[in-house]
Structure 1
Amino acid sequence: MLTKRQELILKMIIQDFAQTNEPVGSKTVMTQLPIKVSSATIRNEMAVLEEKGLLEKTHSSSGRIPSSDGYRYYLDNLVDPVQIPTKVYDKIGLHLDQPFSQVNQIVQEAAKILSDLTNYTAFAAGPETDGRLITGFRIVTLSARQVMAILVTDDGNVKNQIYSLPTKISGQEIEEAVSLINKQVVGKPVTAINQAMMQEIGQHLLLRGSSPEVLKLLEDVIKDSLSEELYVDGQINLFNNSENKDVRQIKSLYELLDKNDEICRLIGLSSQSPDSHRVQVTLGSDLPSSLLDNYSLLTAHYTVGKYGRGTIALLGPTNMPYSQMIGLLDSFRTELAQKLLDYYGRLN
């Protein structure tokens, strides 16, 4: 454990480094400490912190910068989340208070707002899909062999996909198949439409002489509906926040963020027991890709009553101002959850 003075010095160095991105010297620390300590004493304490692996000395300066272990100690023991200014909170509310027609529009806007407010890369995932009920399935004919399959759920979300059919199907055949399918699936949870039910529906279609090709459309649009709806905004900030501006590395990062499964794993959407009461901070050294070594990921879960749990996250440089960012995410998830509850309330 560190002494109170050592903790103060470590905290000052981390906060100063976040503002300047320059190594911090003893004189700088001395002017900022709330207690009176000589420069020589501070240098000695900084040397101790370096020996403990919490600070690092750069080659070009006598100052110190935080190490990964230093950041971890700070985040676990010293960070004090800062309450966001009222004008920022009002701005969040204003942008989320739009006439949205789908939950996903609200979640997508949330990612954009977070990125705009922080100049970092932001992620937002909507509430879990487990409790959603199917309210309708339909098919719209676009051309002789091209159709659009549409699935509507009780939370107002609409999923649609365009398909090219292997053979031409008459409008009457499509209508009969859709009518039969709706009798089987409307009012049931999306998650209840499993392989056994799909086979049962297929048998009904064959017995009625309806087109079995329609079943494939239903299967695909159900699968799409069950996939995590994750939005990313501010990818360009990866370049702005990169230390070495390595174009190849940034390109690789872009490719990483294009993989939905990788992002879900990154922000812990599949975590079985996340701590939903804290904003979690994962340093680059603990992230699954070496491309993220100089970044930190902040993740916050939010709960929307019976409609499930969602996630918001920020990916930024390791030397970000954690107090402000943690405070922002904490307030943002509360506001987002309330806006989603308001939206669901209007549907009932």
Structure 2
Amino acid sequence: MITERQATILKAIVQQYIETGQPIGSKALMDLLPTHVSSATIRNDMASLEQAGLIEKIHLSSGRVPSIQGYRYYLDNLLEPISVSEQMSELIQSDFSEHQFNKIDEIVAQSVKILSNLTSYTAIALSPESKSVRLTDLRALPLGANQVLAIVMTSNAEVYSQVYRLPNGFSGDQVEKIVRLVCDHLINKTLCEAQRWIKNEFPQVIKNYIEDPASLVSLLSDALEQVSGDHFFVDGQSNLLNYVDAPNSTNLKFFYSLFENDNNLSQLLGLHELTADPGDTIQEGINVRLGYDLNPQVLKNYSLITAKYDLADYGAGILALLGPTNMPYSELIGLISSLRQELAKNLINYFGELNGNSG
């Protein structure tokens, strides 16, 4: 447990290091503290903070920098988010309003572009996962050469297509007939209901048509998985390399694979975890995770800010920012909080217009 004055000193050290990137000494801190404290008293408090593992010495000078534990303490106890200015809020709104969006994914993609441009860091977003999205059409178009084009359309006006190679012994016409049969059972069902039906009931429905339905079950399940799976968007990937102390083949390979693999992005955003650590919560729906918690070998110099955006009946998604450990957290958390609100507003408006048009 540290004293109130030591907490004030730690906060000043973190904020000054974020601003300058240089170690901070006791004399410099005298001018940064809100009340007058002697240099000797500051040195004593700094010694206590160093003993507690919250600051550390990295050079021969007397200056100190925050440790990973110091950053964590600052984030959990001392951070004060700064709301964006009216001008910044208007800029974010205009960056959305100047585009005509035809798909949900286009709105989410615009949000990561805005966030990356405003911060020069790497922005990541996960599209909203809506339990209410329903299957509106499913088609299979024969292409010849034992291939078929599967087309899936959903109630949120999204269209997904994928070319599949047919199992041996099947013709495109056969698959097309079976798909029409499937549509009779699945149209207007939610994607989750459709997936369950394909897995549990579909084999019985088509047992009179084919001897072994397993291959078609796999094909249709994969087509629906493409629709209901996570949709990630990333912008500013190369910005990560600006904060690597010594780039090498190992971390370069990691960074490139990180954004090419959805499973890696799911892991990075903590989608496989049931709950976030309580200490990570900065404000409602916003967390900061330090690189040592993410991947101590490669991401030790980075931090990840994640913000959940909620669309009520239309689902929820995630907006995230990956940057250096000494990011200006107060400003960035205010920015990402404002951006997620504008993203949610645009998505809700889109859904509202879509439902109005369909009604």
For normalisation by structure 1, the TM-score amounts to 0.90
Deviation sequence 1:149-188 (CA, Å, 0-9, x none): 1111111222221123356976754543332221111111
Paired position in structure 1 for 2:127: 126
SS at match of 2:138: strand
Partners of 1:25 and 1:59 in 2: how far apart? 12
2:26, 2:39 within 8 Å by CA — same for their partners in 1? yes
Paired position in structure 2 for 1:183: 184
> Equivalences for 1:284-299 in 2 at 5 Å?
284-299=291-306
Partners of 2:212 and 2:57 in 1: how far apart? 71
Paired position in structure 2 for 1:266: 268
Partners of 1:277 and 1:169 in 2: how far apart? 53
Partners of 2:247 and 2:127 in 1: how far apart? 32
Residue 49 of structure 2 aligns to which amino acid in structure 1?
L
1:176, 1:210 within 8 Å by CA — same for their partners in 2? no
Between 93-102 and 316-325, the greater mean CA deviation after superposition? 93-102
Paired position in structure 1 for 2:253: 251
Partners of 1:96 and 1:143 in 2: how far apart? 43
Residue 2 of structure 1 aligns to which amino acid in structure 2?
I
SS at match of 1:344: helix
> Equivalences for 1:182-261 in 2 at 5 Å?
182-194=183-195, 197-198=198-199, 200-205=201-206, 207=208, 216-261=218-263
CA distance 1:93–1:195, shift in 2 (3 Å) = same
CA distance 1:209–1:63, shift in 2 (3 Å) = closer
Paired position in structure 2 for 1:59: 59
Paired position in structure 1 for 2:45: 45
Residue 3 of structure 1 aligns to which amino acid in structure 2?
T
Residue 105 of structure 1 aligns to which amino acid in structure 2?
E
Q: What is the root-mean-square deviation of aligned Cα atoms in Å?
A: 2.5
* CA positional deviation for 1:198: 4.3
Residue 111 of structure 2 aligns to which amino acid in structure 1?
A
* CA positional deviation for 1:265: 2.0
* CA positional deviation for 1:44: 2.2
SS at match of 1:187: coil
Partners of 2:199 and 2:72 in 1: how far apart? 49
Paired position in structure 1 for 2:83: 83
Between 59-68 and 87-96, the greater mean CA deviation after superposition? 87-96
2:103, 2:157 within 8 Å by CA — same for their partners in 1? yes
Partners of 2:227 and 2:49 in 1: how far apart? 51
Partners of 1:228 and 1:321 in 2: how far apart? 29
For normalisation by structure 2, the TM-score amounts to 0.88
Residue 64 of structure 2 aligns to which amino acid in structure 1?
R
2:147, 2:172 within 8 Å by CA — same for their partners in 1? no
Residue 18 of structure 2 aligns to which amino acid in structure 1?
A
* CA positional deviation for 1:18: 0.8
Paired position in structure 2 for 1:303: 310
Partners of 1:8 and 1:329 in 2: how far apart? 26
1:177, 1:210 within 8 Å by CA — same for their partners in 2? no
* CA positional deviation for 1:205: 4.2
Paired position in structure 1 for 2:34: 34
2:58, 2:64 within 8 Å by CA — same for their partners in 1? yes
2:143, 2:172 within 8 Å by CA — same for their partners in 1? no
Q: 1:335 pairs with 329, 342, 358, which one?
A: 342
1:133, 1:187 within 8 Å by CA — same for their partners in 2? yes
* CA positional deviation for 1:27: 2.2
SS at match of 2:31: helix
Residue 335 of structure 2 aligns to which amino acid in structure 1?
L
* CA positional deviation for 1:310: 0.8
* CA positional deviation for 1:294: 1.5
SS at match of 2:128: coil
SS at match of 1:123: strand
Residue 183 of structure 2 aligns to which amino acid in structure 1?
N
1:173, 1:211 within 8 Å by CA — same for their partners in 2? no
CA distance 1:195–1:347, shift in 2 (3 Å) = closer
Provide structure 1 residue ranges, at least 5 long, that are not aligned to the other structure: none
Partners of 2:29 and 2:186 in 1: how far apart? 66
1:121, 1:234 within 8 Å by CA — same for their partners in 2? yes
Paired position in structure 1 for 2:323: 316
Deviation sequence 1:244-281 (CA, Å, 0-9, x none): 33353232232233321122122122343456814111
CA distance 1:299–1:81, shift in 2 (3 Å) = same
Partners of 1:155 and 1:126 in 2: how far apart? 12
2:148, 2:165 within 8 Å by CA — same for their partners in 1? yes
SS at match of 2:162: strand
Between 169-178 and 310-319, the greater mean CA deviation after superposition? 169-178
* Percent of aligned positions that are identical: 42
Partners of 2:168 and 2:100 in 1: how far apart? 41
Between 44-53 and 91-100, the greater mean CA deviation after superposition? 91-100
CA distance 1:172–1:52, shift in 2 (3 Å) = closer
Provide structure 2 residue ranges, at least 5 long, that are not aligned to the other structure: none
Between 257-266 and 313-322, the greater mean CA deviation after superposition? 257-266
Give the count of matched residue pairs: 348
CA distance 1:142–1:197, shift in 2 (3 Å) = closer
2:198, 2:217 within 8 Å by CA — same for their partners in 1? no
SS at match of 2:181: helix
